[in-house]
């Protein structure tokens, strides 16, 4: 007899409301870029440099930044399918060279993560970034050791907005995804959380506008990562996203 992952069995049952599931929270899963660490300007200038170097002109930011949150290879495939490998090489070289100069920690990230860990909250990271670069960012800002699992684009065959990476992380932790928060700053993050029945929490401080992040319909939204403990400790209603009326 095979064991069924806890997250897979929960999905077949009627789920309580998100506010009730928060009371029985099993883990928090975080996106990385634009959520835990501020790499927005680094990503923006890396795209400008790579596209200008390889294609002869920089692709406008509104195009290059539209799919941040998906794997870089997929983004370049959509942008310029005949130049993917060259774009990847140039982007990655520039990004590595300028990472520590242009990447920053959000003001409350370390304190929030430390506080949650001290309270016994289990945590993981689910990112579409490659493994070495993701680990470098987490280690640079002193937060790598707080996460039980770190799932990168290198670890899974399917990527956000599919919920697969989130469910993979939850299964690795042995917890039901439906009782995990997923906090992210992109529409792709929210689509993955919602379709996977995680407790979806929009980060409004990252690469995307509030309208874009809220468009998929997440259950909660935060203005800063420092508000996360309040969401978990009885103030969920304060952060609830109003439901749209349907006709």
Rounded-to-integer distance, Cα 214 and Cα 38, Å: 20
Instruction: Name the helix (H) or strand (E) containing 150.
Output: strand 149-151
CA-nearest of 187, 178, 175, 245 to 218 is 187
Q: Using CA atoms, how far apart are residues 22 and 1, in angstroms rounded to an integer?
A: 32
SS (H, E, C) 64-95: HCCCECECHHHHHHHHCHHHHHHHHHHHHHHH
31 is catalytic: yes
86, 93 contact by CB (below 8 A): no
Q: How many CB atoms lie within 10 A of CB 29?
A: 31
Which residues have a catalytic role annotated?
A: 31
């Amino acid at each position: 007899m095979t064991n069924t992952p806890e997250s897979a069995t929960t999905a077949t049952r009627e789920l309580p409301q998100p506010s009730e599931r928060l009371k029985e929270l099993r883990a928090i899963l975080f996106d990385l870029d634009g959520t835990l660490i501020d790499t927005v300007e680094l990503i923006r200038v890396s795209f400008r440099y790579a596209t200008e170097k390889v294609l002869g002109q920089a692709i406008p930011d509104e195009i290059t930044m539209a799919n941040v949150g998906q794997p870089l290879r997929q983004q370049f495939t959509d942008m310029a399918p005949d130049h993917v490998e060259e774009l990847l090489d140039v982007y990655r070289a520039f990004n590595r060279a300028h990472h520590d100069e242009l990447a920053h920690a959000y003001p409350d990230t370390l304190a929030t993560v430390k506080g949650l860990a001290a309270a016994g909250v289990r945590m993981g990271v689910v990112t579409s970034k490659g493994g070495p670069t993701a680990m470098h960012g987490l280690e640079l800002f002193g937060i790598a050791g707080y996460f039980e699992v770190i799932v990168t684009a290198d670890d899974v065959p399917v990527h956000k907005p599919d919920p697969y990476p989130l469910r993979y992380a939850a299964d690795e932790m042995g917890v039901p995804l439906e009782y995990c928060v997923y906090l992210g700053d992109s529409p792709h993050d929210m689509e993955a959380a919602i379709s996977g029945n995680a407790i979806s929490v929009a980060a409004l401080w990252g690469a995307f506008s509030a309208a874009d992040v809220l468009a998929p319909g997440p259950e909660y939204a935060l203005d800063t990562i420092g508000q996360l403990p309040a969401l978990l400790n009885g103030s969920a209603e304060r952060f609830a996203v109003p439901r749209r009326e349907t006709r």
